[in-house]
Amino acid sequence: MKIITPYERKVFYYETDKMNVVHHSNYIRMFEEARIDFLEKAGMPFEDIEKFGVMVPVLSAECHYISPLVFDEKFAVYQKIEKFNGVRLEISYRIVSRDSGKLCAVGKTSHCFTDMNMKPIRTKGKYPEIYSVFNKYTGYETED
């Protein structure tokens, strides 16, 4: 099992709002970017999952805002697969500023797996390649 590093980028101008900080909805998008980056680094890119005819919709998302990111600030998203049983998936996230070192936000998303008609599916028997990647990294947290 190889080490997976956190997802990193800088804040875009259009992500700010008139409060001069990143709009709170954008952290939910950063979580998604990080998830997709994680899966690619884990060897199961999201497009491959979709090529199997599998989607991974979000069942819930939450974010706690601690210290606001500002324009051009570099940040990292650390994440951990908290739970996975082949049917449901839960991931937690910590967004950390690479400039200040501050913890900026923490959050969580939960997901299920569905076919292209949004019908829930079990990955274990039917999609062993997908199952094995998530299973392997369950409990794993990205590390620098």
Q: Kindly list the residues in this chain that would bind its own copies in the complex (CB under 8 A).
A: 9, 12-14, 16-20, 23-26, 28-29, 32-33, 36, 40, 45-47, 55, 57-65, 68, 71-72, 118
Taking the least distance from each CB to its own copies, the nearer of 29 and 125 is 29
Taking the least distance from each CB to its own copies, the nearer of 47 and 129 is 47
Taking the least distance from each CB to its own copies, the nearer of 64 and 83 is 64
Q: Tell the smallest beta-carbon distance from residue 86 to its own copies (Å).
A: 20
**Residues annotated as part of the active site:** 17
Q: Tell the smallest beta-carbon distance from residue 52 to its own copies (Å).
A: 15
Dihedral (C-alpha) 58, 41, 122, 115: value to the nearest 10 degrees?
A: 60
Q: Tell the smallest beta-carbon distance from residue 104 to its own copies (Å).
A: 13
